[in-house]
Amino acid sequence: MGECSYFVMDNIRIVRQTVLCSSSRGKWLQDVFPDNIAHIGEEFKFGRKNLKRERGVQIPRPVSHGPSSFIPEHEIVPPETDDEQTRQLFVDAFLQNNRLENITSVMGFHPQYLESFLRLQHYLLRMDGPLPQDYRHYIGVMAAARHQCSYLVDLQESEFLMQDGDPDWLKGLDYIPQKLRNLCELNKILAHRPWLITKQHIEQLLRGNDSWSLSELVHAIVLLAHFHSLASFVFGTGINLEIDHECGHTLQPASLSEGANDVEAHHSNSVASSLESSEPGVEMLMHRMKKIQEAADLQEISQEEMKQRFEKVEKQSLELLPGQSACSECLAVSDYAKYRDDPHFHYEDFAKRGEERTIPTFRAQMEAPPGWLRDYSWEDQGFSLVNRLYSDIGQLLDDKFRMAYNLTYYTMGPQKDVDTSMLRAAIWNYIHCMFGIFHDDYDYGEVNQLLDIRLKSFIKTVTCYPERTTRKDYDNFWKEFKHSEKVQVNLMVLEARMQAELLYALRAIMRYMM
């Protein structure tokens, strides 16, 4: 990139910092966004042409069209939407993040969820808390790097510098304080195999030199889980890089680089692509839900049978093998090793084929049956513990979890007035199943009846190997459903995964405190 082009990109960043520091930015934003956004866009295009013609400046432009490479731009909610709630949320997001991020635009399909997401993220990153601002964003970098999520890494690197973070830290883990470096092991395990977290991991961080306080550690754990799960959403919905990201812009004319950032479709899931049978349509799913409800009214299932059905679903998940990583040119040259130790450590199935189980299933039960030891649940232990150690975060997390789980418009594809609670429960509990979490009040037989192999493959890839998600994986499932409904599946992956990570981490903290 030439010197003039670097000047242009630097000025994009300076404008963002000016907006961040301006005390009147709220009024400025209300004046120009989004009523005049189309006019501003035209003026910018005119200025681009003048700079190029009169001064020979090469002006960067986005390499991708729209916020997502999976969803057509015309189907995504625009900034100038007529929906007042969504419009105001976009304004709030701009104020919070100094831009309308692509990820926010895609979440705009579901404004009720977006509101709870922005509230939690603002509290986690901006409000008073145990950790300093630069630590918060660097932890975000470390978490996103576990999944090679360049979108989130670039965002958090930028925010880190805007919070006066030490630029040397961005050279890698060898340049950061030992206190942060000590977090690497927990980051690695939490991202890929959270069931391995023990009270010993917690004890090592809380004692000795460069130790963490308990409240600091809880703040860090919530940050790690937030960015791990957010990486799943980024890959699962094909979020495009922002224009000021390293690989988010190009100097080539549009005709020469059209679609340069599109995800290749040929990297399909190895299992889903091999199947010849077609997925069940909307009407078939509705018929199955009706049959399940009728059967539930006529029979009771023993706890032993419930456990066997869970184990069957768990073992079937072993057959779903993720595809190979989709290595774009940008991903191939990006250096994530500097932010990761043990880069070959990745997800392994909780239940391994042909091996005796060495780690007990996590029972997230509502009421313990006679003779069973009560395990750990978000409602009864996790919520109160995290709220006690990091004030108010428990309520914000709980609101977000409940919103993702209960969100419904009573539609399925073209059908209206549909109760989707059974389908949502199957998706949520299937995600938890991959982390060894057993809900003893749920019939896992419903999972196999409601989730076809293509949907299961997509969910497993996005949950466990998000960096391997491809456009074809996204296109392969729920072909009769709307993009907003596919985005909702990804929201459930985000929240169910985050809750699973927190359950294991908070249980380890509780055991340390006992």
Active site (catalytic) residues? 149
Q: DSSP assignment of 203-258, as one string?
A: HHHHSSTTPPPHHHHHHHHHHHHHHHHHHHHHHHTTBPPPTTSTTSEE-S-HHHHT
Distance from chain centroid for Cα 3: 36
Q: What is the DSSP letter of 67?
A: S
* Cis, peptide link before residue 132, omega less than 30° from 0: no
Structure tokens at 226: 């937030």
Report how far residue 319's alpha carbon sits from residue 272's, in angstroms, rounded to the nearest whole number: 10
Of 464, 463, 470, 430, the residue nearest 447 (C-alpha)? 430
> How many Å apart are CA 454 and CA 284, to the nearest integer?
15
Return left, alpha or beta for 210; rule: phi > 0 is left, psi -120 to 50 is alpha, else beta.
Answer: left
Local structure of residue 379 (DSSP, 8 states): I
Q: In 3D, which of 345, 313, 310 has the Cα closest to residue 193?
A: 345
According to DSSP, the residues that pair with 415 across neighbouring strands are: 412
∠ Cα 247 251 253 (to 5°):
120
Residues 6+ apart with CB under 8 A from 66: 72, 73, 76, 240
Calculate the CA dihedral of residues 344, 347, 353, 356 and round it to 10 degrees. Answer: 100
DSSP 423-450: HHHHHHHHHHHTTTEE-TTS-THHHHHH
Cα–Cα distance for residue pair 377/398, rounded to 1 Å = 12
Helices (H), strands (E): how many in the chain?
23, 6
C-alpha–C-alpha distance, residues 144 and 284, integer Å: 38
DSSP assigned state of 68: B
Contact between residue 476 and residue 242 where contact means Cβ atoms under 8 Å apart: no
CA–CA separation, 315 and 311 (whole Å): 6
Residues 427/462, Cβ–Cβ less than 8 Å: no
Amino acid letter for position 238: G
Cβ-contact 210, 177 below 8 angstroms: yes
